Amino acid sequence: KRLRGEKTFSGPEALKEQIARDIEQAKAWLKEEPPNNQSLYY
């Protein structure tokens, strides 16, 4: 199965690394959101 149509993963470790990067990007994005919006995500 292809994720987001971007690429195939070589194995579980590659998939975990991509998920970890996605999580870090999501955390960074949430920090940039105004405080009154953050409660929607917790």
Q: Is the dihedral of CA 19, 21, 2, 33 positive or negative?
A: positive
In this model, does residue 27 exceed pLDDT 60?
A: yes
In the structure, what pLDDT confidence band is assigned to residue 20 with cuts at 50, 70 and 90? very high
Structure tokens at 17: 């690394």
Asked if pLDDT for residue 2 goes beyond 80, the answer is no
pTM of the model: 0.48
| Residue 30 pLDDT > 70 | yes
Could you tell me the pLDDT band of residue 31, with boundaries at 50, 70 and 90?
confident
Output the six-digit token pair for 37.
């919006």
Burial of 39 by CB count in 10 Å (0-12 exposed, 13-18 middle, 19+ buried)?
exposed
